[in-house]
Amino acid sequence: MNLKTRWPRSLGCILVPLLFLFLGHSVSAMLLESSSNGADAAFESNERGVSLLKEKKYSEAIDAFRSARRAKPLDVTIKKNLATAHLVYGIDLLDREKHGLAKSQFSASLEVDPEGTNARYHLAVSLHFLKETEQAAREFSRTVELDPKIAPAWEGLANCRYEEGKLLLAIEALEKAVTLQPDEKRLKDRLQKFRREQAVEGKFVGDHTSRFQIKFDADREDPRFINTILHELGEAYDKVGSDLGFRPEDRIPVILYSDKEFSHVTGSRGWVGGLYDGKIRLPTKNIANNPRRLRMVIVHEYTHAVVSRLCPNAPAWLQEGLAQFEEGKSVRDAKRTLRTALSRGGLVRLSKLPSASFASIKDPLVATRAYALSLVIVHELVERRSIRHLATYLETLRRVKDVDRAFDEVFGGTFQDFEEDIRSELGR
C-alpha cells in the first residue's frame, strides 16, 4: 500500500507565494527604484531588466541586470534586482519540476546576495527534491539561522532529519515549526507521527546495503530473517528496475514491526499488509514464516517506492495496480472478484474512490474490489502495449499533471473510456 506524504505548499510544486510570504512584497515592490543617475546605461539596463522580469522573460532580465551591474558594480539596487531575478526564475523552474536548473538559479542568487533568505530556503527545497538530503539539511539549517521564524524551513529541516533516520532531531525541528504555526493541524499530526515512531523505534538497531537501510528490534528478529529480507529487497530492486527502466540511487529505508507496533505507528486498518510512505514499513507476523508472502509484500511496497519517484502525483489505481502486477498477484482471481461485484451491482468506479491512496477506504470489501480493478486495468494496459508504456505514462503524467491528457498521449483516448471498456468486458 502507498500512503503519500502530504507536503506543505511551501515544499510542493506551488512555490511562488513563498517569495511574498517571507518578505511581504510583490516582485515589483522587490525591484527597487533605480540608482541616482537616470540617464546612464546602467539605469537603462536596470529598467529593461525590471520590465522583462515582469513579463517573465527571466533569462533576458538576468542578462539586462548583469549588464547594468557591469556598468555600476557597487550599485545596491542593481545587485538586489539581479539576485531577485535569479530567485524568481528558480521558483518558476521549481514549479515546473526542473529541480537541477532551479538549484543553479538559487545558487547564482546567493553568489550575488549571500544573505538572501528566500534564495537559501529555495536552494534547500531544490536540493531536497534532488535527494541531496545532507546538503538540503545544511541549507535549511542556515536559513533558520538567518531567520528563525520561517516555519517551512524548520519543517524542511525536520523532513531531512527524518529521512536521515535522526528522529529526535526531526522532532526537535518540527516542534519549532509547530510553535510558529500552532493552528496548523497538518504539522501537529506529523509531529505526533514522529513521536509515535520514536517511541517504537527508539530501541531498534539498523543494517544496510548500498540500496536499503533496514531497522528492526534485535531482541525479536532472527539475523537470518533480516538477511532474507535484504536479499528479497535486492531481488525487487533488480526486477522492478528492469521492468520500469528506473533504479533509485538513494538508499530506501525499511522498518520491521510487530503487528501492534505497525498499527500504532501507521494507524493503518487491519487489512493493510504493508505500507510505503517514504519508508517501507512491514509488519512481520504474516511474512516471517511464509517466503512467498514475504517476496510479494516486499516487491509490492518497493514498487510504490519506485513509482513515487517516477511520478509523485500517480493516482491510487496506477500505484496499486502496478504494485500488484509486479508482485505477481493473480489477475484471474481479480477478474473473478470483479465479475461477482458487477453481478451484484457493487463495483464502484475508480473516479469515486480516493485518488491519492486507498488507505482511507473503510470497507474491506470495497478496498478488495478497488485493488482488483486496479490490477486488471494495469494488466490489460501491459497486454495491449507493454510495461514500458506504463513507465512512459508515469513520466508523462508527472509532466502534464492530468490523468486523461497523459493517458491520451501514451495510450490514446481517455482513462474513463478505457475503464468503461474493461467493465464491459468483465460483464460479458
Both 189 and 228 in a single domain? Answer: no
Please indicate, yes or no, if residue 415 is contained in any of the structural domains.
yes
In a domain? residue 1: no
Residue 150 and residue 30 share a domain: yes
Q: How many CB atoms lie within 10 A of CB 109?
A: 26
Instruction: Tell me what the mean pLDDT of segment 104-133 comes to.
Output: 95
The pLDDT of residue 17 is 31
Q: Are residues 281 and 381 in the same domain?
A: no
Nearest CA-CA partner of 158 in 331, 143, 368, 264: 143
69 shares a domain with 184: yes
- Look at the chain and report how many structural domains it folds into: 3
- Kindly state whether residues 297 and 363 are assigned to the same domain: no
Question: Which band of pLDDT confidence, cut at 50, 70 and 90, is reported for residue 353?
Answer: confident
Which of 255, 275, 306 represents a domain boundary (last residue)?
Answer: 306
Q: What is the pLDDT of residue 270?
A: 62
Look at residue 28 in the predicted model and tell me its pLDDT.
41
Q: According to the model, what pLDDT value does residue 97 have?
A: 87
Quick check: 31 pLDDT over 50?
no
Please determine, for residue 13, whether its predicted confidence score (pLDDT) is greater than 70: no
Query: Is residue 250 situated within a structural domain?
Result: yes
Please indicate, yes or no, whether residues 175 and 227 belong to a single structural domain of this protein: no
Last residue of a domain, one of 167, 184, 200: 200
CA 276 vs. chain centroid, Å, equals: 12
Find, among 43, 81, 37, 33, the residue nearest to 61 by Cα. 81
Residue 36: Cβ-neighbour burial (10 angstroms; 0-12, 13-18, 19+): exposed
- Of the pLDDT bands very low, low, confident and very high (cuts 50, 70, 90), residue 271 is low
Domain check: are 171 and 300 in the same one? no
Over the chain, what is the mean pLDDT?
87
Parent domain of 20: 9-200
Q: Does residue 172 belong to any structural domain of this protein?
A: yes
Integer angstrom CA distances of residue 194 from 140, 162, 182, 212: 19, 8, 17, 21
What is the C-alpha separation between 240 and 237, in angstroms, rounded? Answer: 6
| pLDDT tens, position by position, 62-114 | 999 999 999 999 899 999 999 999 999 999 999 988 999 999 999 999 999 99
Last residue of a domain, one of 306, 336, 369: 306
Per-residue pLDDT tens over the stretch 288-337:
889 999 999 999 999 999 999 999 889 999 999 999 999 999 999 999 99
Whichever domain contains 143, its CATH number is 1.25.40.10
2 inside domain: no
pLDDT level of residue 23 (50, 70, 90 thresholds): very low
Residue at 4 is within a domain: no
The pTM for the full model equals: 0.79
Give the pLDDT band of residue 20 (cuts 50, 70, 90). very low
Contact assessment for residue 211 and residue 234, using Cβ atoms and an 8 Å cutoff: yes
Q: Minimum mean pLDDT among 9-23, 91-105, 171-185, 196-210: which range?
A: 9-23
**pLDDT at position 2 over 80:** no
116 phi and psi angles, rounded to 5 deg:
-70, 105
**Residue 3 within any structural domain of the chain:** no
Contact 172, 30 (CB under 8 A): no
Mean pLDDT (whole number) for 15-25: 31
Residues 21 and 130 in one domain: yes
Residue 234 in any domain: the answer is: yes
For the stretch 140-155, pLDDT in tens is 999 999 999 999 999 9
Q: Clarify whether residues 192 and 221 are in a common domain.
A: no
Note whether 179 and 85 are same-domain residues.
yes
Closest CA to 294 of 194, 190, 221: 221
Shared domain for 150 and 101, answered yes or no, is yes
CB-based burial label for 306 (10 Å; 0-12, 13-18, 19+): buried
Q: Across-strand partners of 205?
A: 216
Residues 267 and 365 in one domain: no
